[in-house]
């Protein structure tokens, strides 16, 4: 029997994502000048106000106000009419030093024995829905908002758009867990008040269906384009007008969109957020490592769908558990427990090894803080950071290293594929 599955995404201007981006921009600034920085930063945004709090151990100093204001302006909150903009909002800082009790379990004389920065379980997931091994529902939800942001910045069509937006996509799947059609698309976008309510809402819906969606579809592979029929159900700004939005309309907090950040409800989630945390926190680094493992397992042909769980105890280097679930879609003649044993033999899962393998002690995190941490395209870029106290540094860094398919051959060899 066919079934429906749904995922959502939120734009870079959503208040929770504003918070995530500020937290990760601050993390990048610390790492750019001190790669050994220990950082755990939370951000709250509301009407005209930013509050940054957390724990940091670092040799450098960061101008929190300057970094936060640049992020807010870059997102597009640049007008007083939004009741939240980068030039005029207040920025309150409450950052103190990392607990020595935590640090003693993480920093070891031999860096290879570095302990996990916290206890917990992290999950990685991959499937064959899309070319990047992500669930189609989430992939489309992200793409809709990325395209909407491009349209907003072009200022040629849909010139009424404001930064806050949400999307949701429902896909119909068959018994083999293959997508067969796009069932429902929901788009809620903040906008200027440019007409009476009824014609204004009609215009926005018309533009979403006739401008936004065709641009999204044009960027998709042919096999996904075929899933867009003429019977898609559209809900565009279903509550009515959406003029009041962003941090003025809803308080934002770091780490409140963890399902958007990962797999859109597919697989599982251990509950730990990512943004604002340096890679000694396995909430982040082990989640990236488990995605790296899952994606390479599917790409190597071990299974058509894989969930990987890693679990850690604070201060302990080796994971306390490694779990694999192939949902009955394995392509090898061994059980999931044996697959997990092979994973442990192929991948060094100590936090220090994960940091090195994925090059996580670099300022690579702002780019992860909107439109998903998983399923992105790895790339090498040069980033420039400036400090009033430590000058200017340029760093060539590799983004989204956990999305690389660099372990396919070792996996094939280990599994005899």
Number of H helices, E strands in the chain: 13, 13
**What is the rounded CA–CA span in Å between residue 39 and residue 24?**
10
SS3 304: coil
Which residues make up each annotated binding site for ATP? 14, 164-166, 241-242, 250, 256-257, 273, 277
- What is each CA distance from 17 to 27, 75, 123, 139, 168, in whole angstroms? 15, 10, 21, 17, 16
**What is the rounded CA–CA span in Å between residue 134 and residue 15?**
25
Number of neighbours of residue 145 by Cβ within 10 angstroms: 28
Report yes or no: 310 and 322 within 8 Å, Cβ to Cβ.
Answer: yes
SS3 142: helix
Burial class (CB in 10 A: 0-12, 13-18, 19+), 396: exposed
Q: Give buried/exposed letters for 290-307 (b at 16+ CB in 10 A, else e).
A: bbbbbbbbbbbebbbbbb
- What is each CA distance from 192 to 79, 88, 140, 166, 247, in whole angstroms? 12, 20, 25, 16, 16
Q: Using alpha carbons only, how large is the chain's radius of gyration in Å?
A: 22
- What is each CA distance from 285 to 111, 187, 273, 275, in whole angstroms? 16, 32, 11, 11
Which residues make up each annotated binding site for K(+)? 42
**What is the rounded CA–CA span in Å between residue 17 and residue 25?**
12
Which residues make up each annotated binding site for L-methionine? 55, 98, 250, 281
Which residues make up each annotated binding site? 14, 16, 42, 55, 98, 164-166, 241-242, 250, 256-257, 273, 277, 281
The pair of three-digit structure tokens given for residue 204, joined into one six-digit string: 């926005």
From 297, 295, 345, 307, select the one nearest 123 (Cα to Cα).
307
Which residues make up each annotated binding site for Mg(2+)? 16
Q: What are the beta bridge partners of residue 3? A: 173
From 24, 38, 20, select the one nearest 355 (Cα to Cα).
38
């Amino acid at each position: 029997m066919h079934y429906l599955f749904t995922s959502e995404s939120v734009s870079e201007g959503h208040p929770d994502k504003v918070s995530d981006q500020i937290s990760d921009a601050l993390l990048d600034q610390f790492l750019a000048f001190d790669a050994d920085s220990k950082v755990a930063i939370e951000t709250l945004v509301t009407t005209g106000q930013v509050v940054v709090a957390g724990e940091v151990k670092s040799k450098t100093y960061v101008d929190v106000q300057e970094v936060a204001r640049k992020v807010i302006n870059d997102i597009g909150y640049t007008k007083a009419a939004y009741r939240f903009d980068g030039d005029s909002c207040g920025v309150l800082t409450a950052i103190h030093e990392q607990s020595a009790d935590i640090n003693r379990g993480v920093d070891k004389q031999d860096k290879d024995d570095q302990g996990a920065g916290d206890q917990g379980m992290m999950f990685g997931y991959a499937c064959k829905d899309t070319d990047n091994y992500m669930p189609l529902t989430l992939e489309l939800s992200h793409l809709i908002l990325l395209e909407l942001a491009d349209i907003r910045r072009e200022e040629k069509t849909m010139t009424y758009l404001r930064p806050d937006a949400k999307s949701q996509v429902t896909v119909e799947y068959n018994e083999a867990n293959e997508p067969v059609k796009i069932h429902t698309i929901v788009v809620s976008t903040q906008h200027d008040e440019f007409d009476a309510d009824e014609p204004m809402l009609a215009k926005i819906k018309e533009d979403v269906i006739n401008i936004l969606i065709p641009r999204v579809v044009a960027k998709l592979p042919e096999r996904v384009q075929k899933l867009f029929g003429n019977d898609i159900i559209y809900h565009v700004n279903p509550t009515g007008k959406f003029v009041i939005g962003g941090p003025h309309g809803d308080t934002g907090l770091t780490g409140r969109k963890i399902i958007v950040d990962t797999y859109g409800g597919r697989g599982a989630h251990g509950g730990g957020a990512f943004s604002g945390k340096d890679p000694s926190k396995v909430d982040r680094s082990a989640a990236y490592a488990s995605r790296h493992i899952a994606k390479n397992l599917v790409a190597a042909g071990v299974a058509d769908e894989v969930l990987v769980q890693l679990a850690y105890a604070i201060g302990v280097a080796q994971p306390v558990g490694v779990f694999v679930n192939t949902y009955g879609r394995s392509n090898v003649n061994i059980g999931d427990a044996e697959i997990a044993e092979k994973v442990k033999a192929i991948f060094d899962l100590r936090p220090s090894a994960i940091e090195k393998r994925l090059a996580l002690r670099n300022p690579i995190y702002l780019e992860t803080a909107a439109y998903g941490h998983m399923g992105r395209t790895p790339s090498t870029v040069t980033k420039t950071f400036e400090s009033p106290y430590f000058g200017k540094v340029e760093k060539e860094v590799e983004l989204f290293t956990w999305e690389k398919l660099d372990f396919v051959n070792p996996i094939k060899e280990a599994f005899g594929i």
